[in-house]
Amino acid sequence: MISQEAKNIMAFMAQLKIPNIQDVPIELCRQGMAGMMAFSLPPLGCRLENVDAGGVPALWIAAANADAEAKATVFYLHGGAYSMCSPQTHVGMTGLLSELSGVKVLSVDYRLAPEHPYPAAIEDAVCAYQWLLGQGVPGRSIVIGGDSAGGGLAFAALLELRRLNIELPAAVFAISPWVDLAHTGETVKTKADVDPMFTESGMDYMARLYANGADLRSPLISPLYADLRGLPPALIHVGTQEMLLSDARRMADALQKAGVDCTLREWEGLFHVFHSAVYLPEARVANEEIAAYITQHIRGN
């Protein structure tokens, strides 16, 4: 049974759910998302530092207990349908992950659609990752992660790094990853009435904004359709009340069939990226699990 706090948040989100988001200017959507995320604050003593990651803006996040001089790094890609949010909107969650794992986080401020559609986000993610390697941080000391679109972007970035023969990170975690922008999963329809955040028309609109005419099933847009062999171990979290539940399930299955060590964790009754509501008891437990996964896989501190 989920907490009363989680039920309250889902009810609040459902009241704010916009049936026709395509009619709302993107700047208003961005402001609304930033306002929702502002309730999640980083831990006390968390250090934030803007950095130029090889020409890509990024934000270092280090909790008070994280060793900023250690090589161990979480390379984070925020969600927001490729068109909203930023490292700043996600500092509550990334700060908590830093505190729970004792590892600093590099959160990438990749370019957003519609001003910068596909493949801008992938280009920025790969560029920032190469910059991190250039700082003397080996792949074995990096865990890449992301939520929603950022989860899909994490897998897309891994595919591009593999193609370029660039050293891969030690592991990947993805929270409610958006990996099928063609929206062929059954829960896009079966969970439509209980998902407090999304509508199918809104998801389709955001997918088209990002793809900008490209094939929605292109592997770098929708990693579900990619050859996933050779990717690092993966952890996927998803709530059972979200339309992207099928994305997570099918991605986990595809990774396992490709020989990738993948763990899928479904959180009963919970919503899309509930981890970002860091004040929820369920979010604390889920983020603790991800932090344990990070420390389990990172080597060469």
Q: What is the mean pLDDT of residues 93-109?
A: 98
**pLDDT reported for residue 147:** 98
**d(C-alpha 222, C-alpha 63), whole Å:** 33
Q: How confident is the model at residue 17 (pLDDT cuts 50, 70, 90)?
A: confident
Q: What is the pLDDT of residues 135-149, one digit of tens each?
A: 999 999 999 999 999
pLDDT of 116 > 60? The answer is yes
Q: How confident is the model at residue 215 (pLDDT cuts 50, 70, 90)?
A: very high
Residue tagged active-site, from 272, 275, 276, 297:
272
Residue tagged active-site, from 40, 107, 148, 246:
148
**pLDDT reported for residue 134:** 98
**pLDDT reported for residue 19:** 84
Please give the structure tokens belonging to residue 260. 């990738």
Q: What is the pLDDT of residues 150-194, one digit of tens each?
A: 999 999 999 999 999 999 999 999 999 999 999 999 999 999 999
**d(C-alpha 68, C-alpha 85), whole Å:** 25
Q: Which residues contact 135 (CB under 8 A, 6 or more apart)?
A: none
Specify whether 78 is catalytic.
no
Specify whether 148 is catalytic.
yes
**pLDDT reported for residue 194:** 96
Mean pLDDT rounded to a whole number for the chain = 96
Q: Which domains does the chain have, with CATH numbers?
A: 4-297 (3.40.50.1820)
Q: What is the mean pLDDT of residues 80-97?
A: 98
pLDDT of 301 > 70? The answer is no
Q: How confident is the model at residue 203 (pLDDT cuts 50, 70, 90)?
A: very high
Q: What is the mean pLDDT of residues 113-139?
A: 98
Sheet holding 73-77, edge to edge: 47-52, 57-62, 104-108, 73-77, 142-147, 171-175, 234-239, 262-267
- Under a CB-based contact definition with an 8 Å cutoff, are residues 221 and 159 in contact? no
Residue tagged active-site, from 40, 99, 101, 242:
242
Please give the structure tokens belonging to residue 277. 């509501």
**d(C-alpha 268, C-alpha 258), whole Å:** 27
pLDDT of 300 > 80? The answer is no
